[in-house]
A and B are shown apart, each in its own frame.
Chain A
């Protein structure tokens, strides 16, 4: 019940295309859903996050879509650029704790 399932494992997108990464969770107590971006040789860094009281959050080219009833959330990268090539992790945490449950990661490659 603590798992966060992430798909796909890897993704190749043409420059200018839309990248979509999906995550699903089981624990309905989760109340914070961040996405982290990791470049090779670096630590993960927060990209965007959402709480379940909204269905969508947008920051620049990055959008989180959240479906509370389906217990799913996804990251959309619009106008994908080669500089977006990285590994993306979704995560979830519950109330009263800042402990994350991470997804398994998606390796995104954007072709120039």
Chain B
């Protein structure tokens, strides 16, 4: 298996623009997690899905953030409008058990 796939790997955008991050989980995994990593706050869980249904979105920082999982093989995390403080590395992870498998991350820079 190719592992968790994320795109793009790097994204540079200007404040106010819409940003969409994409994730393809490992086939057969029924849990999908979105994390944000910064030096100041470490690894933060934003939202997670089970069988394509959002289970816990309490980590989503504000209404500018939204996530969807239209099918078992695809999820998006959207930021609209983006702000400089959203600059971070965003990870997607999937699991079918206790172990979470992380993707390579998307490094987002908002100017």
Contacts and interface: CB of A to CB of B under 8 A. Distances in A.
- Counting contact residues on chain A (CB < 8 A from B), the size range is 10 to 19
21 contacts: A32-B98, A34-B98, A36-B102, A43-B4, A43-B93, A43-B103, A43-B104, A46-B99, A49-B99, A89-B42, A98-B95, A98-B97, A99-B45, A99-B48, A99-B55, A99-B56, A100-B45, A102-B42, A102-B43, A104-B42, A105-B43
A43 B100 CA distance: 11
Given A43-B91, A89-B43, A105-B43, A98 B104 contact: no
B57 to A, nearest CB: 12
Interface residues of B, number: 21
Contact of B102 (A41, A45, A49, A98): A45
Contact of A93 (B55, B93, B98, B105): B98
Contacts of A49: 98-99
Contacts of B97: 98
Contacts of B100: 46, 98, 100
A105 B101 CA distance: 18
Contacts of B91: 43-44
A46 B4 CA distance: 14
B102 to A, nearest CB: 3
B10 to A, nearest CB: 11
A32 B105 CA distance: 24
Nearest to A101: B45
Given A98-B31, A98-B95, 7 more contacts: A34-B99, A36-B102, A43-B93, A46-B101, A49-B98, A99-B45, A103-B42
